[in-house]
Amino acid sequence: MGKFWKKGVSALVVILVLTELLLFSYHIQETEEESQPENEGKEAAQLTLWYSDENMGYYFTEAAKAYEQDTGIKVTARQVSGVDYIEQINKASISETGGPDLYMSGSDILEKAHLAGLASENQFASQLYNSEHYPQIALDAVTYKGVQVAYPLSFETSCLLYNKAYAAEAPATIDDILTFSDTFEGGEGIENIFVWNVSDIFSDYFFAGNYINLGGPCGDDKVQIDINNEQVQQAMAYYQSLKEFFALDPETISDEDVIQDFMDGKTIYAIVRADDLNKMEAAASVGLTTVDYGVARVPDLTESLQTKPLAVTSVVVVNGYTPYPKEAADFAKYLTYDYAVNLYSMVNRMSARSDLNLDKPHVDTLKEIYQTAAGVPKIMELSNYWIQMEVTFANIWQGADVPGELQKVSDLITKQLK
Protein backbone atom coordinates (compact mmCIF):
# COMPACT_ATOMS: atom_id res chain seq x y z
CA MET A 1 0.00 0.00 0.00
CA GLY A 2 2.84 2.39 0.95
CA LYS A 3 4.41 1.77 -2.39
CA PHE A 4 1.26 2.72 -4.29
CA TRP A 5 0.71 5.75 -2.03
CA LYS A 6 4.23 7.02 -2.79
CA LYS A 7 3.61 6.59 -6.52
CA GLY A 8 0.33 8.52 -6.22
CA VAL A 9 2.01 11.39 -4.40
CA SER A 10 4.76 11.50 -7.01
CA ALA A 11 2.22 11.61 -9.82
CA LEU A 12 0.30 14.39 -8.07
CA VAL A 13 3.48 16.43 -7.65
CA VAL A 14 4.27 16.02 -11.35
CA ILE A 15 0.74 17.15 -12.29
CA LEU A 16 0.97 20.20 -10.02
CA VAL A 17 4.36 21.18 -11.43
CA LEU A 18 3.13 20.80 -15.01
CA THR A 19 0.02 22.84 -14.19
CA GLU A 20 2.12 25.67 -12.75
CA LEU A 21 4.39 25.60 -15.78
CA LEU A 22 1.39 25.82 -18.11
CA LEU A 23 -0.13 28.70 -16.13
CA PHE A 24 3.21 30.54 -16.09
CA SER A 25 3.64 30.01 -19.83
CA TYR A 26 0.09 31.33 -20.48
CA HIS A 27 0.76 34.39 -18.32
CA ILE A 28 3.97 35.15 -20.24
CA GLN A 29 2.17 34.80 -23.59
CA GLU A 30 -0.73 36.99 -22.44
CA THR A 31 1.66 39.69 -21.18
CA GLU A 32 3.57 39.68 -24.46
CA GLU A 33 0.32 40.02 -26.42
CA GLU A 34 -0.80 42.93 -24.26
CA SER A 35 2.54 44.71 -24.71
CA GLN A 36 2.46 44.42 -28.49
CA PRO A 37 1.74 47.68 -30.36
CA GLU A 38 -1.90 48.27 -31.28
CA ASN A 39 -1.11 48.16 -35.01
CA GLU A 40 1.13 45.06 -34.75
CA GLY A 41 0.44 42.90 -37.73
CA LYS A 42 -1.17 45.76 -39.62
CA GLU A 43 0.44 47.49 -42.57
CA ALA A 44 2.23 50.70 -41.54
CA ALA A 45 0.05 53.78 -42.02
CA GLN A 46 0.44 55.66 -45.29
CA LEU A 47 -1.94 58.57 -45.69
CA THR A 48 -3.43 60.19 -48.77
CA LEU A 49 -4.64 63.80 -48.77
CA TRP A 50 -6.88 65.17 -51.51
CA TYR A 51 -7.30 68.83 -52.41
CA SER A 52 -8.69 70.75 -55.39
CA ASP A 53 -7.07 74.18 -54.90
CA GLU A 54 -3.90 74.17 -57.01
CA ASN A 55 -2.45 77.05 -55.00
CA MET A 56 -2.25 74.83 -51.91
CA GLY A 57 -0.02 72.18 -53.47
CA TYR A 58 3.29 73.55 -52.21
CA TYR A 59 2.06 73.88 -48.64
CA PHE A 60 0.66 70.35 -48.53
CA THR A 61 3.75 68.83 -50.14
CA GLU A 62 6.15 70.54 -47.74
CA ALA A 63 3.96 69.74 -44.75
CA ALA A 64 3.89 66.08 -45.78
CA LYS A 65 7.70 65.98 -45.96
CA ALA A 66 8.09 67.59 -42.55
CA TYR A 67 5.47 65.31 -41.02
CA GLU A 68 7.18 62.19 -42.37
CA GLN A 69 10.48 63.34 -40.87
CA ASP A 70 8.79 63.84 -37.50
CA THR A 71 6.67 60.69 -37.41
CA GLY A 72 7.88 58.30 -40.11
CA ILE A 73 4.38 58.31 -41.63
CA LYS A 74 4.35 58.95 -45.37
CA VAL A 75 1.66 61.28 -46.74
CA THR A 76 0.83 61.66 -50.42
CA ALA A 77 -0.88 64.95 -51.35
CA ARG A 78 -2.95 64.64 -54.51
CA GLN A 79 -4.72 67.40 -56.43
CA VAL A 80 -8.06 66.36 -57.94
CA SER A 81 -10.78 68.16 -59.86
CA GLY A 82 -13.13 70.33 -57.84
CA VAL A 83 -16.10 69.24 -59.98
CA ASP A 84 -18.40 66.97 -57.94
CA TYR A 85 -15.66 66.88 -55.32
CA ILE A 86 -17.58 65.16 -52.52
CA GLU A 87 -19.10 62.70 -54.98
CA GLN A 88 -15.58 61.76 -56.12
CA ILE A 89 -14.48 61.23 -52.52
CA ASN A 90 -17.54 59.14 -51.71
CA LYS A 91 -17.19 56.99 -54.83
CA ALA A 92 -13.50 56.34 -54.17
CA SER A 93 -14.07 55.66 -50.47
CA ILE A 94 -16.53 52.83 -51.06
CA SER A 95 -14.45 51.28 -53.85
CA GLU A 96 -11.88 48.52 -53.41
CA THR A 97 -8.97 50.92 -53.91
CA GLY A 98 -10.26 53.33 -51.27
CA GLY A 99 -10.43 57.10 -51.12
CA PRO A 100 -8.40 59.77 -49.35
CA ASP A 101 -7.73 59.47 -45.64
CA LEU A 102 -8.33 63.20 -45.33
CA TYR A 103 -9.11 66.07 -47.64
CA MET A 104 -9.32 69.86 -47.88
CA SER A 105 -12.65 71.51 -48.65
CA GLY A 106 -14.82 74.49 -47.90
CA SER A 107 -16.89 74.36 -44.73
CA ASP A 108 -20.09 74.59 -46.79
CA ILE A 109 -19.97 70.87 -47.71
CA LEU A 110 -19.75 69.56 -44.15
CA GLU A 111 -23.41 68.61 -43.78
CA LYS A 112 -23.26 66.57 -46.96
CA ALA A 113 -19.93 65.02 -45.98
CA HIS A 114 -21.06 64.18 -42.46
CA LEU A 115 -24.31 62.54 -43.59
CA ALA A 116 -22.36 60.46 -46.11
CA GLY A 117 -19.95 59.24 -43.43
CA LEU A 118 -17.09 61.22 -44.95
CA ALA A 119 -16.43 63.52 -41.98
CA SER A 120 -15.13 62.29 -38.63
CA GLU A 121 -15.26 64.15 -35.34
CA ASN A 122 -12.34 66.45 -34.52
CA GLN A 123 -10.19 64.49 -32.05
CA PHE A 124 -8.51 67.57 -30.59
CA ALA A 125 -11.51 69.86 -30.25
CA SER A 126 -11.34 70.41 -26.50
CA GLN A 127 -7.53 70.66 -26.28
CA LEU A 128 -6.69 72.90 -29.24
CA TYR A 129 -9.68 73.90 -31.33
CA ASN A 130 -11.15 76.38 -28.91
CA SER A 131 -11.36 80.15 -28.39
CA GLU A 132 -7.78 80.24 -27.09
CA HIS A 133 -6.44 79.49 -30.56
CA TYR A 134 -9.28 80.15 -33.04
CA PRO A 135 -11.95 82.85 -33.49
CA GLN A 136 -15.57 81.82 -33.07
CA ILE A 137 -16.26 82.05 -36.80
CA ALA A 138 -13.61 79.35 -37.45
CA LEU A 139 -15.03 77.10 -34.73
CA ASP A 140 -18.56 77.61 -36.07
CA ALA A 141 -17.32 76.79 -39.57
CA VAL A 142 -16.24 73.28 -38.53
CA THR A 143 -19.23 72.62 -36.26
CA TYR A 144 -22.25 70.64 -37.41
CA LYS A 145 -25.13 69.97 -35.01
CA GLY A 146 -22.98 70.85 -32.02
CA VAL A 147 -19.98 68.68 -32.96
CA GLN A 148 -16.72 69.70 -34.63
CA VAL A 149 -16.41 67.52 -37.73
CA ALA A 150 -13.39 69.18 -39.36
CA TYR A 151 -10.25 71.22 -38.67
CA PRO A 152 -10.16 74.95 -39.63
CA LEU A 153 -7.27 75.67 -42.00
CA SER A 154 -7.48 79.11 -43.65
CA PHE A 155 -9.87 81.87 -44.62
CA GLU A 156 -10.69 84.32 -47.39
CA THR A 157 -12.66 87.53 -46.95
CA SER A 158 -12.89 91.02 -48.43
CA CYS A 159 -11.45 94.32 -47.26
CA LEU A 160 -11.09 97.98 -48.25
CA LEU A 161 -7.97 99.40 -49.87
CA TYR A 162 -7.52 103.17 -49.78
CA ASN A 163 -4.93 105.38 -51.45
CA LYS A 164 -3.21 107.39 -48.72
CA ALA A 165 -2.17 110.10 -51.16
CA TYR A 166 -5.81 111.20 -51.22
CA ALA A 167 -7.32 109.63 -48.08
CA ALA A 168 -5.32 109.83 -44.86
CA GLU A 169 -7.58 107.31 -43.12
CA ALA A 170 -10.25 104.78 -43.97
CA PRO A 171 -13.84 106.02 -44.26
CA ALA A 172 -16.31 104.83 -41.63
CA THR A 173 -19.20 104.67 -44.10
CA ILE A 174 -19.89 104.74 -47.81
CA ASP A 175 -21.77 107.95 -47.08
CA ASP A 176 -18.35 109.37 -46.18
CA ILE A 177 -17.02 108.25 -49.57
CA LEU A 178 -19.92 110.02 -51.28
CA THR A 179 -19.15 113.19 -49.32
CA PHE A 180 -15.50 112.90 -50.35
CA SER A 181 -16.57 112.44 -53.96
CA ASP A 182 -18.61 115.66 -53.87
CA THR A 183 -15.60 117.73 -52.84
CA PHE A 184 -12.84 115.89 -54.73
CA GLU A 185 -11.23 118.17 -57.30
CA GLY A 186 -9.36 115.46 -59.14
CA GLY A 187 -5.85 114.08 -59.08
CA GLU A 188 -3.23 112.94 -61.55
CA GLY A 189 -4.25 109.64 -63.10
CA ILE A 190 -7.33 109.19 -60.88
CA GLU A 191 -10.20 107.58 -62.79
CA ASN A 192 -12.24 106.03 -59.98
CA ILE A 193 -13.33 107.22 -56.56
CA PHE A 194 -14.78 103.91 -55.36
CA VAL A 195 -14.70 100.53 -57.10
CA TRP A 196 -15.66 96.94 -56.35
CA ASN A 197 -16.52 93.95 -58.52
CA VAL A 198 -20.25 94.50 -58.85
CA SER A 199 -20.61 91.21 -60.75
CA ASP A 200 -19.23 89.04 -57.92
CA ILE A 201 -21.40 88.02 -54.96
CA PHE A 202 -18.28 87.65 -52.81
CA SER A 203 -17.56 91.36 -53.21
CA ASP A 204 -21.22 92.44 -53.18
CA TYR A 205 -22.37 90.48 -50.16
CA PHE A 206 -21.17 92.90 -47.48
CA PHE A 207 -23.95 95.33 -48.38
CA ALA A 208 -26.65 93.05 -46.91
CA GLY A 209 -24.58 90.47 -45.02
CA ASN A 210 -25.23 91.97 -41.59
CA TYR A 211 -28.97 91.39 -41.87
CA ILE A 212 -29.19 88.00 -43.58
CA ASN A 213 -29.48 84.83 -41.49
CA LEU A 214 -28.47 81.58 -43.17
CA GLY A 215 -28.87 78.81 -40.64
CA GLY A 216 -27.68 80.49 -37.47
CA PRO A 217 -24.06 80.82 -36.26
CA CYS A 218 -23.01 77.40 -37.58
CA GLY A 219 -25.09 77.56 -40.75
CA ASP A 220 -26.82 74.25 -40.02
CA ASP A 221 -30.27 75.22 -38.68
CA LYS A 222 -33.00 75.22 -41.33
CA VAL A 223 -35.35 77.09 -39.00
CA GLN A 224 -33.06 80.13 -38.91
CA ILE A 225 -33.38 81.40 -42.48
CA ASP A 226 -34.15 85.08 -43.10
CA ILE A 227 -33.27 86.67 -46.43
CA ASN A 228 -36.01 89.26 -46.87
CA ASN A 229 -36.60 91.71 -44.04
CA GLU A 230 -36.85 95.48 -43.69
CA GLN A 231 -33.15 96.01 -43.03
CA VAL A 232 -32.07 93.85 -45.99
CA GLN A 233 -34.43 95.85 -48.18
CA GLN A 234 -32.96 99.14 -46.93
CA ALA A 235 -29.41 97.89 -47.50
CA MET A 236 -30.19 96.69 -51.02
CA ALA A 237 -31.98 99.94 -51.88
CA TYR A 238 -28.82 101.77 -50.83
CA TYR A 239 -26.76 99.38 -52.97
CA GLN A 240 -28.98 100.13 -55.96
CA SER A 241 -28.64 103.89 -55.43
CA LEU A 242 -24.85 103.74 -55.83
CA LYS A 243 -25.15 103.05 -59.55
CA GLU A 244 -26.01 106.73 -59.93
CA PHE A 245 -22.64 107.73 -58.46
CA PHE A 246 -20.27 104.98 -59.62
CA ALA A 247 -20.51 103.77 -63.21
CA LEU A 248 -19.62 100.13 -62.64
CA ASP A 249 -20.47 97.77 -65.48
CA PRO A 250 -20.98 94.14 -64.34
CA GLU A 251 -20.39 92.99 -67.92
CA THR A 252 -16.82 94.27 -68.05
CA ILE A 253 -15.52 94.56 -64.49
CA SER A 254 -13.42 91.84 -62.82
CA ASP A 255 -11.39 91.26 -59.67
CA GLU A 256 -8.22 91.61 -61.74
CA ASP A 257 -9.31 94.99 -63.08
CA VAL A 258 -10.16 96.29 -59.62
CA ILE A 259 -6.79 95.44 -58.06
CA GLN A 260 -4.78 96.43 -61.15
CA ASP A 261 -6.40 99.86 -61.37
CA PHE A 262 -5.64 100.42 -57.70
CA MET A 263 -2.00 99.38 -58.17
CA ASP A 264 -1.77 101.73 -61.16
CA GLY A 265 -2.90 104.65 -59.01
CA LYS A 266 -6.23 105.07 -60.80
CA THR A 267 -8.49 104.37 -57.80
CA ILE A 268 -8.87 105.91 -54.36
CA TYR A 269 -11.09 103.31 -52.64
CA ALA A 270 -11.49 99.64 -53.66
CA ILE A 271 -13.14 96.57 -52.18
CA VAL A 272 -10.88 93.57 -52.86
CA ARG A 273 -10.40 90.00 -51.73
CA ALA A 274 -7.86 89.50 -48.97
CA ASP A 275 -5.83 87.32 -51.33
CA ASP A 276 -5.41 90.32 -53.65
CA LEU A 277 -3.25 92.00 -51.02
CA ASN A 278 -0.53 89.55 -51.99
CA LYS A 279 -0.50 91.08 -55.47
CA MET A 280 -0.10 94.54 -53.94
CA GLU A 281 2.78 93.40 -51.74
CA ALA A 282 4.48 91.55 -54.60
CA ALA A 283 4.12 94.51 -56.98
CA ALA A 284 5.43 96.95 -54.37
CA SER A 285 8.44 94.74 -53.60
CA VAL A 286 9.68 94.95 -57.21
CA GLY A 287 8.67 98.55 -57.87
CA LEU A 288 5.64 97.81 -60.06
CA THR A 289 3.46 100.02 -57.86
CA THR A 290 4.35 103.05 -55.77
CA VAL A 291 0.89 103.56 -54.27
CA ASP A 292 0.98 104.21 -50.54
CA TYR A 293 -2.06 102.32 -49.34
CA GLY A 294 -3.97 101.33 -46.25
CA VAL A 295 -6.11 98.28 -45.48
CA ALA A 296 -9.32 98.44 -43.47
CA ARG A 297 -12.60 96.70 -42.83
CA VAL A 298 -15.27 97.35 -45.47
CA PRO A 299 -17.12 100.54 -44.49
CA ASP A 300 -20.68 100.58 -43.20
CA LEU A 301 -23.29 102.00 -45.55
CA THR A 302 -24.53 104.75 -43.25
CA GLU A 303 -24.46 105.44 -39.52
CA SER A 304 -27.54 103.24 -39.14
CA LEU A 305 -26.93 100.55 -41.78
CA GLN A 306 -24.01 98.28 -40.90
CA THR A 307 -22.14 95.93 -43.20
CA LYS A 308 -20.66 92.46 -42.83
CA PRO A 309 -18.32 90.92 -45.43
CA LEU A 310 -18.43 87.28 -46.40
CA ALA A 311 -15.74 84.91 -45.13
CA VAL A 312 -15.05 81.47 -46.55
CA THR A 313 -13.25 79.06 -44.24
CA SER A 314 -11.24 76.22 -45.77
CA VAL A 315 -11.06 73.11 -43.63
CA VAL A 316 -9.34 69.74 -43.44
CA VAL A 317 -11.66 66.77 -43.01
CA VAL A 318 -10.80 63.26 -41.83
CA ASN A 319 -12.60 60.70 -43.97
CA GLY A 320 -14.84 58.39 -41.96
CA TYR A 321 -13.72 55.53 -44.21
CA THR A 322 -10.00 55.83 -43.49
CA PRO A 323 -8.37 52.70 -42.04
CA TYR A 324 -6.05 55.01 -40.10
CA PRO A 325 -8.33 57.40 -38.20
CA LYS A 326 -5.81 58.16 -35.46
CA GLU A 327 -2.97 58.98 -37.86
CA ALA A 328 -5.25 60.96 -40.20
CA ALA A 329 -6.54 63.05 -37.29
CA ASP A 330 -2.99 63.74 -36.16
CA PHE A 331 -1.98 64.93 -39.63
CA ALA A 332 -5.12 67.09 -39.86
CA LYS A 333 -4.01 68.73 -36.61
CA TYR A 334 -0.50 69.11 -38.02
CA LEU A 335 -1.76 70.89 -41.13
CA THR A 336 -4.15 73.23 -39.34
CA TYR A 337 -2.37 73.84 -36.04
CA ASP A 338 1.28 72.74 -35.78
CA TYR A 339 2.45 73.72 -39.28
CA ALA A 340 -0.07 76.53 -39.89
CA VAL A 341 2.46 79.28 -39.16
CA ASN A 342 3.90 78.53 -42.63
CA LEU A 343 0.67 79.05 -44.57
CA TYR A 344 1.13 82.74 -45.30
CA SER A 345 4.83 82.61 -46.17
CA MET A 346 4.42 79.54 -48.40
CA VAL A 347 1.15 80.11 -50.26
CA ASN A 348 -0.05 83.55 -49.09
CA ARG A 349 -3.05 82.13 -47.25
CA MET A 350 -4.27 83.41 -43.92
CA SER A 351 -4.35 80.74 -41.23
CA ALA A 352 -7.63 80.40 -39.34
CA ARG A 353 -5.61 80.44 -36.11
CA SER A 354 -6.00 83.71 -34.24
CA ASP A 355 -2.95 83.34 -31.98
CA LEU A 356 -0.19 83.36 -34.61
CA ASN A 357 2.15 86.34 -34.77
CA LEU A 358 3.19 86.53 -38.42
CA ASP A 359 4.81 89.98 -38.35
CA LYS A 360 3.43 90.78 -41.81
CA PRO A 361 1.76 93.98 -43.03
CA HIS A 362 -2.02 94.13 -42.57
CA VAL A 363 -2.30 90.59 -41.15
CA ASP A 364 -3.83 91.79 -37.88
CA THR A 365 -6.40 93.83 -39.79
CA LEU A 366 -7.43 90.81 -41.84
CA LYS A 367 -7.74 88.67 -38.71
CA GLU A 368 -10.01 91.29 -37.14
CA ILE A 369 -12.15 91.41 -40.28
CA TYR A 370 -12.47 87.62 -40.29
CA GLN A 371 -13.60 87.53 -36.68
CA THR A 372 -16.66 89.66 -37.42
CA ALA A 373 -17.47 88.39 -40.92
CA ALA A 374 -20.43 86.33 -42.12
CA GLY A 375 -19.83 82.60 -42.52
CA VAL A 376 -21.32 80.35 -45.19
CA PRO A 377 -24.16 77.85 -44.60
CA LYS A 378 -23.71 74.08 -44.58
CA ILE A 379 -27.35 73.25 -45.35
CA MET A 380 -27.38 71.09 -48.49
CA GLU A 381 -30.55 72.69 -49.86
CA LEU A 382 -28.70 76.03 -49.97
CA SER A 383 -25.93 74.76 -52.25
CA ASN A 384 -27.11 77.01 -55.11
CA TYR A 385 -27.88 79.97 -52.84
CA TRP A 386 -24.89 82.00 -54.05
CA ILE A 387 -25.90 81.71 -57.68
CA GLN A 388 -29.42 82.81 -56.82
CA MET A 389 -28.19 85.75 -54.75
CA GLU A 390 -25.77 86.82 -57.47
CA VAL A 391 -28.73 87.01 -59.86
CA THR A 392 -30.72 88.96 -57.26
CA PHE A 393 -27.91 91.49 -56.75
CA ALA A 394 -27.46 91.84 -60.52
CA ASN A 395 -31.16 92.50 -61.08
CA ILE A 396 -31.32 95.05 -58.27
CA TRP A 397 -28.21 96.84 -59.58
CA GLN A 398 -29.93 97.17 -62.94
CA GLY A 399 -32.97 98.80 -61.33
CA ALA A 400 -35.33 95.93 -60.49
CA ASP A 401 -37.80 96.27 -57.63
CA VAL A 402 -35.89 95.59 -54.41
CA PRO A 403 -38.66 94.03 -52.26
CA GLY A 404 -39.87 92.00 -55.23
CA GLU A 405 -36.44 90.54 -56.02
CA LEU A 406 -35.77 89.69 -52.38
CA GLN A 407 -39.17 88.04 -52.02
CA LYS A 408 -38.54 86.02 -55.15
CA VAL A 409 -35.28 84.56 -53.87
CA SER A 410 -36.74 84.09 -50.37
CA ASP A 411 -39.67 82.08 -51.77
CA LEU A 412 -37.30 79.96 -53.83
CA ILE A 413 -35.12 79.15 -50.81
CA THR A 414 -38.18 78.39 -48.67
CA LYS A 415 -39.43 75.97 -51.33
CA GLN A 416 -36.07 74.20 -51.48
CA LEU A 417 -36.01 73.73 -47.72
CA LYS A 418 -39.40 71.96 -47.62
If asked whether residues 356 and 387 sit together in one domain, one would say no
Decide if 290 contacts 350 (C-beta within 8 A). no
Range of the domain at 282: 157-310+378-417
If asked whether residues 265 and 361 sit together in one domain, one would say no
What ranges make up the beta strands (E) of 260-383? Answer: 267-273, 293-296, 311-318, 350-351
Does the pLDDT at position 2 exceed 80?
no
pLDDT reported for residue 418: 86
pLDDT digits 0-9 by tens, 87-99 = 999 999 999 999 9
If asked whether residues 242 and 124 sit together in one domain, one would say no
CA dist., res. 174 & res. 155, Å (int): 25
If asked whether residues 259 and 384 sit together in one domain, one would say yes
Average pLDDT, the chain: 92
pLDDT digits 0-9 by tens, 14-53 = 444 444 544 444 444 444 444 444 445 457 899 999 999 9
pLDDT digits 0-9 by tens, 225-277 = 999 999 999 999 999 999 999 989 999 999 999 999 999 999 999 999 999 99
pLDDT reported for residue 361: 80
Per the structure, the count of domains in the chain is: 2
pLDDT reported for residue 42: 54
pLDDT digits 0-9 by tens, 279-329 = 999 999 999 999 999 999 999 999 999 999 999 999 999 999 999 999 999
Q: Does residue 14 fall inside a structural domain?
A: no
If asked whether residues 329 and 294 sit together in one domain, one would say no
If asked whether residues 188 and 329 sit together in one domain, one would say no
pLDDT reported for residue 3: 43
If asked whether residues 162 and 268 sit together in one domain, one would say yes
DSSP state of 44: P
pTM of the model: 0.88
Decide if 275 contacts 156 (C-beta within 8 A). yes
CA dist., res. 65 & res. 75, Å (int): 8
